[in-house]
Amino acid sequence: MVLGAVLSLPMACKKAPTPAEIAAHAAKGYYDQLLAGKYEDFVAGTYMPYKIPDSYRKQLEDNARMFVAQQEQEHRGIKKVKILDAKADTLKHVANVYLIFEYGDSTREEVCVPMVEKKGVWYTR
């Protein structure tokens, strides 16, 4: 299941969200799914131009599960994901989204999530 990134955007103002804002909310949404233990949804948010074998998809889901377990062991888990910034290249349909991971041990980390837009949906790369 791919997240409806546009639906998750706050709609308090009347101007349309920019591609960078849409990509940022999509990236955050995928990581929120990861932290909620929805590994299948997290992997579904990864751009794969070709159908992959179920065994490979399962490996990607297992890798996501192991990443969460590793963060739990090293930092008492990722407790919150926040959007820091996003830059989009609308001609190439790509964006770099900068997220902040807030860990359970009170540390923070900035991560860059490359995104690609295909048929109106933003995916992680």
What is the per-residue DSSP string for 54-116? HHHHHHHHHHHHHHHHHHHHHHS-EEEEEEEEEEEETTTTEEEEEEEEEETTS-EEEEEEEEE
Query: Which domains does the chain carry?
Result: 5-124 (3.10.450.50)
- Condensed to tens digits (0 to 9), the pLDDT of residues 98-110 reads 999 999 999 999 9
Which of the pair, 107 or 12, is modelled with greater confidence? 107
Each residue's pLDDT tens digit, 52-98 = 999 999 999 999 999 999 999 999 999 999 999 999 999 999 999 99
Q: What is the pTM of this model?
A: 0.85
Are 45 and 61 spatial neighbours (Cβ–Cβ below 8 Å)?
Answer: no
> What average pLDDT is seen over the chain?
92
